[in-house]
Structure 1
């Protein structure tokens, strides 16, 4: 399955729809995916179950399956989480592909910094594969959860709740993870804020994005 797929986080009877970001390998060699920190439960590893459920292919057709759980959550100045896949599901997510929602999946070949004016596309569970341009970098945001995020980048790519955590690409290069955004109250502009991927990798030695051949 490609990155950019929908998942549901369940804990204590509460559910949250978000999107898987880029597939990666952690320092121990385990298959993981990145996503948004605000999608994860408050405590990670959680005191109770915080299963990640996804619709996955099977011999009998698509099925909703528990594929892993959160291994890390950062929801403050940065916004990212790390999802550890169960060993039986690791081969399903050990690829460098991003869903383009109907067209051919996009292969990730590297990682790059966000640059103003660069073209970008994001893959999200709710609004799909949408594209635009990076309009600002080193942005400070204050989302409704009270966090103060720094070092974010802003784009004019359409996004909405449910797209959080989704991969943001510039051509074949991984650049960030969807953090938030939407349409301003006047309906005049569209904006998306994203967490730069290079900062996530720098904060997690040994973590590497899956690139190259699948």
Structure 2
């Protein structure tokens, strides 16, 4: 090797920093492209979803405006929802929509599959449920509704109900007086007999041919009040709560005129003494000839006639006559009446909503009762109260307190909403839809506002059933 040879210098490595910068720029560029792509896809989906909502009024109601609707509910109704149901006003409206949809599906199933359909209800979690004896028949109904297999279809339940009614006739008068109602219990797929735990009630035993029935005894400790339509010989006329000209109805009459839930009364004679018989005005309606009427309970007219009542007066203005009873039915299984209003009050009542402390609650339609659905009522005695429908089909017996022990068996729906004598005839709503007419308080301890107030149940007459019997009559809705 040449001693003068010098190895060439090793060239320095190429700088790597520019490579890292280039890779970083490339990564950022790709990320931006991906983000733009995702944004475009997401935006398209949102636009499509909003478009679908606009096209579907039900979805729009549930998604876009449910909270807004809840906020617009009257404050006293919202307070009653929270107190009586333990849920928010928004949840009340949501459950009411679910119940309305379930009632429509149940009507279809009852008509299309009477041999397999076994009732419907809202469970304790707010889920809608339909019962079927054959699950294949259940497949054609809404997938949003849970289906359960049961042993009894609607026909069998009706047969068991008829057998229970026949058994009731075989009891002594004292035992019959202890039975408040006979319910179709869709949740348990059975007939439920509700009995007071009085000595007469405790003497009742379940017969062998009704072994599948559910017998339930209700406590009666403390002070009890008879059913509003059942006077005892030593008490004032049924529903007889003296009108108070200084205060009017239980609901604060802040808005003028006359509204559903207001009190009305007839001057009657009971045991030789002058007194008043008071009930509550129900939903506003228009008859076939354009006449404006107010729905109320048939037993209110029955008792008015019984005690020689005549013209009807508004409780908040006790010297002003508002009209007279028109069509009325108070024979098994019905309990409804209409009040034909005079010209002055007809004009005021045509667009009437339901009394609240501020703006009225206006009705948006009708619906059928569903077991487990929320329901609220307005009445002249206890104002707004809320609860649950305990049975969509009940025969309320009412602990007969008539002197002769007879009492018409009225078909309606069971309700645990607190009500008091005088609330009869008032409106029941599920959501903002009319569902029933106040009909019966079974047994009450205390007032609705009392901490320990309780009752063994109550009942209302379905408004849709009344309308079916009155061709040409329509509720005035908004």
TM-score by length of 1: 0.86
CA displacement, residues 145-189 of structure 1 (integer Å, 9 cap, x when unaligned):
53333431011100011001000001110000000114357x754
SS in 1 for 2:347: helix
Q: State the aligned residue count.
A: 204
Q: How does 1:103-122 map to 2 (within 5 A)?
A: 103-122=358-377
Q: What is residue 200 of structure 1 aligned with on the other side?
A: 466
Deviation at 1:190, TM superposition (A): 4.5
Q: What is residue 2 of structure 1 aligned with on the other side?
A: 259
Q: What is residue 27 of structure 1 aligned with on the other side?
A: 288
Distance, in Å, in 1 between the alignment partners of 2:260 and 2:363 is 10
Structure with more contact order per residue of length (Cα contacts < 8 Å, sep ≥ 6): 1
Q: What is residue 65 of structure 1 aligned with on the other side?
A: 320
Greater percentage in helix:
2
Q: How does 1:34-113 map to 2 (within 5 A)?
A: 34-41=295-302, 50-55=310-315, 64-76=319-331, 77-100=333-356, 102-113=357-368
Deviation at 1:11, TM superposition (A): 4.3
CA displacement, residues 65-109 of structure 1 (integer Å, 9 cap, x when unaligned):
101000122112111111000123211111140113x24321101
Q: How does 1:83-162 map to 2 (within 5 A)?
A: 83-100=339-356, 102-143=357-398, 144=400, 146-162=406-422
Do the aligned residues in 1 keep the contact of 2:266 with 2:304 (CA within 8 Å)? no
RMSD across aligned positions (CA): 2.4
Distance, in Å, in 1 between the alignment partners of 2:266 and 2:380 is 13
Distance, in Å, in 2 between the alignment partners of 1:209 and 1:110 is 8
Call closer, same or farther: CA 1:49–1:161 in 2, change over 3 Å. closer
Distance, in Å, in 1 between the alignment partners of 2:426 and 2:379 is 5
Do the aligned residues in 2 keep the contact of 1:111 with 1:175 (CA within 8 Å)? yes
Q: Which protein has the larger Cα radius of gyration, Structure 1 or Structure 2?
A: 2
Q: Does 1:171 align with 2:431?
A: yes
SS in 2 for 1:98: coil
Deviation at 1:137, TM superposition (A): 1.6
Unaligned runs of 5+ in 2: 1-257, 446-452
Deviation at 1:31, TM superposition (A): 0.6
Question: Once superposed, which parts of structure 1, at least 4 consecutive aligned residues long, lie more than 6 Å away?
Answer: none
Do the aligned residues in 1 keep the contact of 2:397 with 2:410 (CA within 8 Å)? no
TM-score by length of 2: 0.40
Distance, in Å, in 1 between the alignment partners of 2:369 and 2:476 is 19
Distance, in Å, in 1 between the alignment partners of 2:303 and 2:424 is 16
Greater percentage in strand:
1
Q: What is residue 59 of structure 1 aligned with on the other side?
A: none
Distance, in Å, in 2 between the alignment partners of 1:27 and 1:208 is 8
Unaligned runs of 5+ in 1: 57-61
SS in 1 for 2:372: coil
Do the aligned residues in 2 keep the contact of 1:140 with 1:148 (CA within 8 Å)? no
